[in-house]
Amino acid sequence: MSQDHAAEINYTDTQAFKRGMRQLTGAVCIITADHAGARAGLTATAVCSVCAEPPRLLVGINRAGRSYALVRDAGAFCVNVLAEDGLALAQRFAMPVEGLDERFATGGWEAGVTGSPVLPGALAAFECRVHDIVEVGTHGMVIGDVVAVRTNEAIGPLLYMNGQFGSLMPLAG
């Protein structure tokens, strides 16, 4: 985008943006990576599909966090989509803890094909190799080539909206 074009944009204020984004319900995921035996992972809702051919997805990670550099340096990551029984894990992976590895104390994490930690109870686990990273403002948009997928569709998803976790109540129809 040219400088001229950027100058024409009237940005809304940050608080209004956050108020709006709080109304966008997200599926709760844990993004994990392992770099030379050091594991990291964070709770994230900024996850979306990019394309199916080839299978590719996008995660948005705050560059100021501890996990970002490890994901980047590992060159691989896993997106673990949490089921509704994953609330405690979602909270643990969003909280500051002394050692990043402590976040993996529960859940029975396994090393996947890329070495990234995979949660056996996840609704879906997308193992990815980093295709590209685009740094945008405070965040890194990490685009991954999906190299393996595990699914487990027995229960419903863990959701997040307006500062609260919840589960899906399907409508009849």
Ligand X SMILES: Cc1cc2nc3c(=O)[nH]c(=O)nc-3n(C[C@H](O)[C@H](O)[C@H](O)COP(=O)(O)O)c2cc1C
Site residues for ligand X per CB under 6 A: 28, 40, 42-46, 60-62, 65-68, 94, 96, 100, 160
Query: Of how many residues is the chain composed?
Result: 173
| Distance of closest approach, residue 113 Cβ to ligand X, in angstroms | 23
| Distance of closest approach, residue 96 Cβ to ligand X, in angstroms | 6
Question: Which residue is nearest to ligand X, using beta carbons?
Answer: 65
Backbone angles phi, psi at 167, to 5 degrees: -125, 170
Residue 37's region, left for phi above 0, alpha for psi from -120 to 50, else beta, is left
Concatenating the DSSP letter of every residue in 88-109 gives HHHHHTTS--SSGGGGGSSS--
| Distance of closest approach, residue 70 Cβ to ligand X, in angstroms | 8
27: β partners: 159
Backbone angles phi, psi at 130, to 5 degrees: -65, 125
Comparing CB distances to ligand X, the nearer of 54 and 137 is 137
Q: CA torsion sign, 125 to 117 to 134 to 55? A: negative
Comparing CB distances to ligand X, the nearer of 89 and 171 is 89
Whole-number CA gyration radius for the chain: 17
| Distance of closest approach, residue 112 Cβ to ligand X, in angstroms | 19
Comparing CB distances to ligand X, the nearer of 9 and 36 is 36
Residue 160 DSSP SS3: strand
| Distance of closest approach, residue 89 Cβ to ligand X, in angstroms | 11
Comparing CB distances to ligand X, the nearer of 22 and 113 is 22
Comparing CB distances to ligand X, the nearer of 4 and 43 is 43
